[in-house]
Structure 1
Amino acid sequence: MSGRLRVLQTLDAVGGVWRYAVDLARALAPQGVETVFLGFGPSPSRAQRAEAAALGPLLWSDAPLDWLAPDASALAAVPETIARTARSEGVDLLHLNLPTQAAGLETERPVLAVSHSCVPTWFRAVRGGGPPPGWEWHKTLNARGLARAEAVVAPSRAHAAALSTCYGPLPRLTVVPNGTAAPRGTPGTEPFVVAAGRWWDEGKGGATLDAAAEHANWPIHLLGPLQGPNGAHFAPSHAIAEGERSHAEVVSVMSRAAIFVSPSLYEPFGLAVAEAARLGLPLVLSDIPTFRELWSDAAVFVPPRDPEALAVTLDELACDPARRQDLGEAAQLRSGRFTPEAQAARMLRLYADLVRHPVSPQAAAPR
Structure 2
Amino acid sequence: MLQSLIPRPRRILMTTDAVGGVWRYSLDLARELVAGGDTVMLAGLGPRPSAEQVREAQSFASLAWLETPPDWMTRDESALDRFPEEMQAIATAFAADLVHLNAPAQAARIDLPCPLVVVSHSCVVTWLHAVRGQVVAGDWAWQKDRNRAGFDRAGVVVAPSRSHAAMLEACYGAIPRLSVIHNGALPGPAVPRRESFALAAARWWDEGKNAKVLDAAAAIAEWPIYVAGPLDGADGQRACLDHCVTLGQVGHAEARRLMARASIFVSPSIYEPFGLAALEAALSGAPLVLADIATYREIWDGAAMFFDMHDSRALAQCISRLARDADLRRQFGRRAARRARKLSLQAQAAAMREIYDRAATAVAER
Is residue 2:97 matched to residue 1:92?
Answer: yes
**Deviations along 1:209-255, whole A, 9 cap, x unmatched?**
01110111210000111122233221211011101111110011111
Answering whether residue 258 of structure 2 is matched by residue 219 of structure 1, we say no
CA distance in 1, matches of 2:189, 2:176: 37
Aligned pair 1:279/2:288, yes or no?
no
Alignment map for 1:206-285 (pairs within 5 Å): 206-285=211-290
| Superposition pairs of residues 248-327 of structure 1, within 5 angstroms | 248-327=253-332
- The answer to whether the 8 Å contact 1:178/1:271 transfers is yes
Helix, strand or coil for the counterpart of 2:157? strand
Preserved CA contact (<8 Å) 2:189 2:260 = no
Q: Which residue of structure 1 lines up, in the alignment, with residue 11 of structure 2?
A: 6
Deviation string, structure 1 residues 20-56 (Cα, Å, up to 9, x no partner): 0110011111222110010000110001111111112
**Residues matched between the structures, number:** 361
Residue in structure 2 matched with residue 73 of structure 1 by the alignment: 78
3-state SS of paired residue (2:139): coil
Q: Which residue of 2 aligns with 1:333?
A: 338
Contact 1:302 1:309 in 2 (8 A): yes
Quick check: 1:192–1:221 contact (8 Å CA) kept in 2? yes
The CA distance in 2 between the partners of 1:112 and 1:80, in whole Å, is 18
Out of 17, 24, 29, the residue aligned to residue 19 of structure 1 is 24
CA distance in 1, matches of 2:193, 2:74: 41
Structure 1 residue identity aligned to 2:356: Y
The answer on whether the counterparts of 2:189 and 2:256 sit within 8 Å (CA) in structure 1 is no
Which amino acid in the other structure matches residue 111 of structure 2?
E
Would the aligned equivalents of 1:184 and 1:278 in 2 still touch at CA under 8 Å? no
* CA distance 1:268–1:347, change in 2 (3 Å): same
Gapped regions of structure 2 (runs ≥ 5): 1-5
Deviation at 1:359, TM superposition (A): 6.4
Alignment of 1:22-171 (within 5 A): 22-171=27-176
Determine what percentage of the aligned residue pairs are the same residue.
46
* Structure 1: runs of 5 or more not aligned: none
Q: Contact 1:95–1:113 at 8 Å: present in 2 too?
A: yes
The Cα offsets for residues 304-324 of structure 1, whole Å up to 9 and x where unpaired, read as 121111111111111111111
Secondary structure in structure 1 of the residue aligned to 2:182: coil
Q: Structure 1 residues 186, 177: CA separation in 2 closer, same or farther (over 3 Å shift)?
A: farther
Q: What is the alpha-carbon distance in structure 1 between the residues aligned to residue 326 and residue 119 of structure 2?
A: 39
Deviation at 1:2, TM superposition (A): 6.5
Paired with 2:136 and 2:35, the residues of 1 have a C-alpha distance of 42
* Cα separation, 1, equivalents of 2:192 and 2:319: 16
Q: 1:247-277: per-residue Cα shift (whole Å, max 9, x none)?
A: 1100111111111100000000000000010
SS where residue 301 of structure 1 aligns? Answer: strand
Mapped partners of 1:134, 1:249: distance in 2: 37
* 1:188 Cα deviation after fit: 4.8
Q: Mark the CA change 1:104 to 1:242 in structure 2 (over 3 Å): closer, same or farther.
A: same
How far the C-alpha of 1:282 sits from its partner, in A, is 0.6
Deviations 1:125-156 (Å, cap 9, x if unpaired)?
Answer: 10011124221111111111111101000000
Matched letter for residue 38 of structure 2: V
Gap change, CA 1:345 and 1:98, over 3 Å in 2 = same
Q: Supply the distance in 2 between the matched residues of 1:228 and 1:172 (Cα, whole angstroms).
A: 34
What's the TM-score once normalised by structure 2's chain length?
A: 0.96
- Determine if contact 2:31/2:61 at 8 Å carries over to the other structure: no
* Residue 351 in structure 1 maps to residue 356 in structure 2: yes
RMSD in angstroms over aligned alpha carbons?
Answer: 1.5
Check conservation: 1:188, 1:258, Cα contact below 8 A: no
Distance verdict in 2 for CA 1:147–1:24, change over 3 Å = same
Go from structure 1 to structure 2 and tell me whether the alpha carbon gap of 1:41 and 1:172 turns closer, same or farther (over 3 Å shift): same
The answer to which of 274-283 and 344-353 deviates more is 344-353
Alpha-carbon deviations, 1:57-76, whole Å to 9, x = none?
Answer: 10001211111112211111
In the alignment, the residues of structure 1 paired with residue 363 and residue 149 of structure 2 have an alpha-carbon distance, to the nearest angstrom, of: 19
TM-score, normalization by structure 1: 0.95
Partner Cα distance (2:28, 2:106) in 1: 21
Q: 1:321 to 1:146 in 2, by over 3 A?
A: same
